[in-house]
Structure 1
Amino acid sequence: MAVPSIPVDRIRAEARELRPGRGLLTLLFLIPFLLGWSVGALWTGLAWMWAAVVAGYRQGAGRTGAAQDGEAR
Structure 2
Amino acid sequence: MRPPRLAVPEGSRFKGYRDVVVQDLRIAAHNTLYRLEVWQTPTGERLNTDPLRNCPPACPGMPRRSRIGRRMLL
Q: TM-score, normalised by structure 1?
A: 0.22
- Tell me which protein shows more strand as a share of its residues: 2
- The structure number with the bigger radius of gyration is 1
**TM-score between the two structures when normalised by the length of structure 2:** 0.22
Which has the higher relative contact order, 1 or 2, with Cα contacts under 8 A spaced 6 or more apart? 2
